[in-house]
Chains A and B, each alone.
Chain A
Amino acid sequence: MSDLNVDDLPKDWLELSRYLHNNAHDFSAWEQLVSAALKLRHDAVSSRLVAISYENLLVNFPYCEQYWCNYAEYLFHTGRTDEAREIYERGVEVVPKSMVIWTKYLDFVVETVHQYDPAVAVFERARKEVGLHFYAHLLYDRYLQFLKAHRRVKEYHYLVRRVIEVPLYHYSKYIKQFFKLIENADLDTIKYLVTKEDLKTVYKLSWPDLIGRKDDRVFTDLKKDMRKRYMDIYITTQYHVFQLWPFEEAVTRPYFAPDELERRELHNWNRYLEYCETLSLKSSHKDSDSAITKNTRKLIDTVYGRCLIATAYYPFFWIKYSNYYLNLNQLDRAKKILVTGIYHCATENVKLRLRLADLEVLTRNLSAAKAVVVDLLQIYPNSVQAWLKLLQLEHLGKNKDLLQLVEAKLDEVAGTEHEPGFDYLFLELLSYNLELEPFLLKYQHKSSYLFWKACIDYYYLHSPDATKLQHTYRLALEKLGDADRARLEGYLDGVVEKEYF
């Protein structure tokens, strides 16, 4: 903003942006900021402000599909077509499974790109990303229309043939189209519907047999039989559509919004994902290079991508997605998903980060793992969980001064509200191969159950010593409160000497 003069900026926009500086999670304020910028009289300053508003909104809420489109459209309408394309490109990179952005992008491409090759390349990319989306008719209608306009008969045939295999909301529309293609097939187009090999093995025919017999029975019989055979694809696709429909029907908010989703909705996504994942359990999916495996995995990715647009604030689904790739033994993919998840779940991401650290360890990336935990500790400096992980990592890194590290932390939290929680570290240290006695002796002034339990366990279970146990027990009873004393007495009942009455 350095070249913008603060005095030139409209007051309400400036106020909002100041407010947002400290309240970046207030979605409606962001929306107000954008609309405040759009309301300004068009000039160089205002177009900068619009860009700043959109860019910052999208940094904070990258899954807001519509705002990517709005931003691109704004640029397009102000004559900045290249920039608009760039925004669409960024949009589909950030939210690759967004049908909203893709369709808008394709409309934009049709309007601005007049050569066939570059335009069809975008259609193909869209097909690969969202072609298995349950509502992909939005894509296919545009694609087919485009091919028709460019008189690409072959590709048109190929595309319809592929679409009929996909379980779509509008599946029957494409089947009908395909039957029509068979119906209207002539000597040229029949080649796009059946291969030479199939013609030979299934019908005992070859291309020359068909030449000049367009209106004759051979040709009609062929078409009739093909229609019969393709009826089965209709049944199969329909079956799968019916399977997906209960899940699809239950999705009431397929888009991103900053408020919470109903439990029922979350549950539905979870069941939907498990349904798709279970499809890939078939023994025919053992070969990960086969088309059947690849297509199913693509469907799973598509459903995850769609689910996460709506559930981006729920670490549950990020972990689930990451676990899906862990199960496929693709640790790098799993890590990438966690990183994205951490970005989206700005506050509730402890488990995501701890898991990421674990995966970094498993891929022998100790320094990366440490970086993850140190990051976490910067957000939650007093998270005991994060500290336990840090201890693990330091120990893995053969840090000799583990106890000094703990000591420093304990000193830091001494006397604060976090002290009781961090006393858990004493118990945790028992699990490490460390010489703890002098360390424990330093803290005998403590009065928390966790600390004394650690001391007792040390002499009781880890490094048994009856005299010291008895001594520690006496000390602990002096230091502990009534309830904790009763707990400890119960714990060591019959082990140490004590007065009963």
Chain B
Amino acid sequence: MSLDFALSDEQQALGEAIATMTKRFAGRREEFIQMILKEHRFPEELWQALCEVGLLGCLVPEEYGGNGMGLLAMAMGLEQLARRGLGNALLVLGAMDACCIVRCGNEEQKRRLLPRLASGEDKYCFAVTEPNAGSNTFRIETLARKEGATYRLSGEKTFITGADVADRMLLVARTTSAAECEAQGLPKAFGLSLFIVDTKARGIDLKPIPTHGIEGMIQYTVHLDGVEVAQEDLIGEPDQGAMALFNSLNPERILAAASALGMTDYLLERSCEYARGRVLFGQKPIAAYQAIQHPLARIKAQSEAVRLVTYKAAWAFDQGHHPGQVGPFANMAKYLAAEMAVDACDRAIQTHGGYGFSEEYGIIYLWTTARLLRTAPISQEMVLNFIGEHVLELPRSY
């Protein structure tokens, strides 16, 4: 009987590749971190380097220009970046889009879209949330009306991360309205369709939403006023987009957990480094006090456990397990990772004392980023609902 936790040579090499890549920017690390967390911009040089390494190609098969290393590799890569304080939400969004296109796109679409997505030449964001449809995607109202060989999209999307820097967005719209579905007795999951939309298309208007917590990106409200989308840019069958959409939510949660893991490592490292050097009473550094040390040790122990669940979830996805089987682990990983990241940031602030709030030390910027993970990409409550209903088989609670 064996259960092997050893990293493969390629997984180790992946870690070293990210280390080598980030080392190239070691002198500018602080500048980059400030840019990402304070200015909500992502350094283009770093993006190009990530593309060169090929992190975006993990979920794209080799025949379509990716490297096909899978979600576990991507999660490890993202974790490595985050543990150096370098987070990027666009990587996660691009990964979701890649999932949808790989699973549901036709051959022509895969050949046309995936190589440029995998190489990072085209940046992709993801547009599903609407003012009246957050956790309940079925309530989206953005409508896509067929007119000959094109669709015309109208509606409003909100909290769309990186819509300004993205070249394209994967947008979820209704091709059959909720009212029509109800009238025809169709299930509420019917009528959702996925479109690839050019972010610079006519009829699109972006309005920034001043928010905190998103790393390296700004969120936008996207107004769509009769935006023309060619039929070739409908991914999958019309009205049947729900399944593809839900399949891509597992990777999103897993990658969010991986980011939280890396962030936790980063915060622990910063905390230990500060505590070792800070002497307040006598000769001992504050690191020698149990009140400082124990919470950090507890988070370290927690992080090893969260890492196992996160990797297991990614592994299950890569094995091609049914989304319903990946879901429990993806949700559990996200839940545990978010709680841990908040805890880690809280302890990092506490360890740093007053400096925990100083812009110079920068820990305080991560507070909103860590806290965001309890709300997005899915709220902790919705995760618990999922586990209650689908894992424990309790009655649906909402």
Q: Is chain B a partner of chain A in the same complex?
A: no
What residues make up the interface of A, taking CB atoms closer than 8 Å to B?
Answer: none
